[in-house]
Amino acid sequence: MPLWIPVTLAAASFQTVRFMLQKVLSSVTLSAAGATFSRFVYSAPLILLLLWAYVAATGAELPALSARFWGFATIGGLSQILATVCVVALFKERNFAVGITFKKTEVIQTAIVGLVVLGDEVSPLGWLAILIGLAAVLVLSKTKDGPKGIWRQLTGRAPLLGLGSGVLFAFSAVSYRGASLQLLEPDAVLRAAVTLGVVVCLQTAMMLVWLVLRDPGQIARVWAARRVAVWVGLTSMGGSFCWFLAFTLQNAAYVKALGQVELLLSLLASLVFFKEDVTRREIIGMALLVLSILALILAL
């Protein structure tokens, strides 16, 4: 089994737990921006510490960072900040599973952005897997009129937040892969760790400046919520490293397509932790999602 597959599954698991924690933070103590900042500020020191430990243990040298690397890293970091704010804000509009569902439109968008920006090609069977996954997303979306209702409600706040986050997450994924590919280093783990360390430091600085200028009270609230927020940082660190490593090893579209398994995990979270009902339509959607993942594996 290629390494990127278990790494992607681990990333999806970490991310589901992180979004659950951020849902709790956003609904109780923090704004969308505050909950997003907590993710970066509590994970940045841990990421840098682990990067230092890895370099010390292996004797590796840090690779040179080109202007093109910094460009990809900055675009990816800013896109992910805006996307995460959209998702956290979306949690206040709809339930947990629906928030992740709208976000998952990022998969087909990542394939398109990857093709245009990096020239990453997707096989015909790969496109079929992505389209089946998109169909699963539409089935799983809880609208009064069923999946077709999504297209009639695109001007609503919840769909716009979800679709917007999908576009932004697509740009961040492709940009992170682009940044990692700029590093002339054969060690995929080191490339992923360096890219992640740079990006998270940039994101922490960006969010800190934003909160100082627009909502300084959230900084104190992030510290006050540290008992939960520190777990956001830990799960963010684990998930982000796994995503970055997977992007280093494989086409971002394939990584995101396999990452659809996160949707199954979010539905489980909705049922078990948030006591939300799972309908027959959601069961059909989950079956389609499993079919798309199987098709993706065959495409590789």
What is the rounded average pLDDT of the residues 261-280? 69
Taking 80 as the threshold, does the pLDDT of residue 212 lie above it?
Answer: yes
% pLDDT > 90, the chain: 21
Taking 60 as the threshold, does the pLDDT of residue 132 lie above it?
Answer: yes
- Nearest CA to 237 out of 72, 48, 43, 38 is that of 43
Q: Which residue has the higher pLDDT, 85 or 113?
A: 113
Q: Which residue has the higher pLDDT, 11 or 156?
A: 11
Tell me the pLDDT band of 126, cut-offs 50, 70 and 90.
confident
> Mean pLDDT highest for which of 18-32, 137-151, 266-280, 285-299?
285-299
Report how far residue 84's alpha carbon sits from residue 38's, in angstroms, rounded to the nearest whole number: 11
3 — phi, psi (to 5°)?
A: -60, -35
Taking 90 as the threshold, does the pLDDT of residue 282 lie above it?
Answer: no
Encode 70-93: b = buried (16+ Cβ within 10 Å), e = exposed.
eebbbbbbbbbbbbbbbbbbbbeb
Whether residue 111 contacts residue 130, with contact meaning beta carbons closer than 8 Å, is answered with yes
Mean pLDDT estimate for the chain? 79
Report how far residue 238's alpha carbon sits from residue 47's, in angstroms, rounded to the nearest whole number: 9
Whether residue 134 contacts residue 293, with contact meaning beta carbons closer than 8 Å, is answered with no
For the ranges 64-73, 161-170, 176-185, which has the lowest average pLDDT? 161-170
Q: Which residue has the higher pLDDT, 151 or 42?
A: 42
Q: Residues 175-184: pLDDT tens digits?
A: 999 999 999 8
Report how far residue 151's alpha carbon sits from residue 207's, in angstroms, rounded to the nearest whole number: 33
Q: Which residue has the higher pLDDT, 90 or 50?
A: 50
What is the rounded average pLDDT of the residues 270-277? 65
What is the rounded average pLDDT of the residues 222-233? 78
Give the pLDDT score at 129.
Answer: 80
In this structure, the number of other CB atoms found within 10 A of the CB of residue 167 comes to: 18
- Long-range contacts formed by 213-219: CB under 8 A, 24+ apart: 214/33, 215/31, 215/33, 215/34, 218/30, 218/31, 218/33, 218/34, 218/37, 219/37
Report how far residue 197's alpha carbon sits from residue 217's, in angstroms, rounded to the nearest whole number: 27
For the ranges 95-99, 135-139, 145-149, 155-159, which has the lowest average pLDDT? 145-149
Give the pLDDT score at 221.
Answer: 86
- Nearest CA to 200 out of 190, 208, 188 is that of 208
Predicted structure pTM score: 0.77
Q: What is the 3-state secondary structure (H, E, C) of the chain?
A: CCCHHHHHHHHHHHHHHHHHHHHHHHHHCCCHHHHHHHHHHHHHHHHHHHHHHHHHHHCCCCCCCCHHHHHHHHHHHHHHHHHHHHHHHHHCCCCHHHHHHHHCCHHHHHHHHHHHHCCCCCCHHHHHHHHHHHHHHHHHCCCCCCCHHHHHCCCCHHHHHHHHHHHHHHHHHHHHHHHHHCCCCCCHHHHHHHHHHHHHHHHHHHHHHHHHHHCCHHHHHHHHCHHHHHHHHHHHHHHHHHHHHHHHHCCHHHHHHHCCHHHHHHHHHHHHCCCCCCCHHHHHHHHHHHHHHHHHHHHC
For the ranges 89-98, 147-156, 175-184, which has the lowest average pLDDT? 147-156
For the ranges 84-93, 109-118, 128-137, 161-170, which has the lowest average pLDDT? 84-93
Give the pLDDT score at 262.
Answer: 75
Give the pLDDT score at 148.
Answer: 52
Q: Which residue has the higher pLDDT, 128 or 152?
A: 128
Q: Which residues have a Cβ under 8 Å from the Cβ of 235 and sit 6 or more positions away? A: 14, 15, 17, 18, 21
